């Protein structure tokens, strides 16, 4: 998936751009991160430092989305990496005026059911593309935490306004807002497995 032949511009990570042996070691450690530790310690964050996210980290986050499982392997989703401050302001409005949508790194995951080349009714293909986009966003969120970033998942959106802001006819599934946290929050207690799991 990350071969030079298929995607020469997307390596995981781009080792030729690593400026020092120390940085290379740090990124190698991230790639080998214990996934259970990442999942247990991730916490949604609404307050970010006014600090840009490095290109290498953005690339790794996007590469993580690319590894997410999808229906038939068709990857029925698209990612909009929003850099424009003007578009970010429009997304704030489209997301019920939630100010933290204007984050250092904003990714909008949209459904693209036309990519799913399977013989099913349109409503099923739409469901597949929604699932694809959701899984891709979740993988990106976990990768971001492994890289020392925090994120907030935005699901309360006006789909039409988001589409207008992005200039697309693709329906958004979620907006993922990421950045360096002002303060690393501790994870909240979750439901007990006894309460959560129903064995039948």
Q: Is the pLDDT of residue 15 over 50?
A: no
Confidence tier at 25 by pLDDT (50, 70, 90): low
Is 152 among the domain residues? yes
Nearest-10 Cα torsion for 151, 155, 161, 164: 60
CA distance 143 to 134: 14
168 falls within a domain: yes
Range of the domain at 141: 15-184
Interval 135-165: pLDDT, tens: 999 999 999 999 989 999 999 999 999 999 9
**46-97 pLDDT, tens per residue?**
888 899 999 999 999 999 999 999 999 999 999 999 999 999 999 999 999 9
Residue 10 lies in a domain: no
Q: How many domains does the chain have?
A: 1
Over residues 113-139, the pLDDT tens digits come to: 999 999 999 999 999 999 999 999 999
Is the residue at 197 inside a domain? no
Is 200 a member of any domain? no
In this predicted structure, what is the pLDDT of residue 16?
A: 45
User: Average pLDDT over the chain, rounded to whole?
Assistant: 86
Rounded Cα gap, residues 118 and 154, in angstroms: 29
Instruction: Tell whether 138 is covered by a domain.
Output: yes
**The CATH number of the domain where 110 resides is what?**
3.40.109.10
Residue 94: inside a domain? yes
Q: Is residue 9 part of a domain?
A: no
């Amino acid at each position: 998936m990350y071969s030079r032949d298929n995607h020469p511009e997307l390596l995981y990570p781009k080792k030729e751009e690593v400026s020092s042996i120390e940085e290379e070691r740090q990124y190698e450690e991230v790639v080998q991160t214990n996934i259970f530790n990442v999942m247990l310690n991730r916490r949604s964050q609404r307050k970010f430092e006014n600090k840009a996210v490095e290109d290498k980290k953005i690339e790794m986050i996007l590469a993580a989305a690319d590894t997410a499982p999808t229906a038939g392997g068709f990857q029925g989703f698209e990612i909009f990496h929003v850099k424009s401050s003007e578009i970010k302001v429009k997304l704030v409005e489209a997301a019920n005026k939630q100010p933290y949508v204007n984050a250092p790194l904003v990714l909008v995951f949209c459904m693209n059911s036309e990519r799913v080349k399977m013989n099913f009714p349109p409503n099923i293909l739409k469901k597949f593309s929604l699932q694809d986009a959701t899984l891709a966003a979740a993988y990106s969120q976990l990768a971001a935490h492994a890289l020392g970033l925090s994120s907030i998942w935005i699901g309360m959106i006006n789909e039409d306004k988001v589409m207008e802001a992005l200039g697309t006819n693709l329906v958004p599934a979620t907006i993922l807002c990421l950045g360096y946290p002002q303060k690393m929050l501790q994870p909240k207690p979750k439901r007990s497995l006894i309460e959560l799991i129903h064995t039948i």
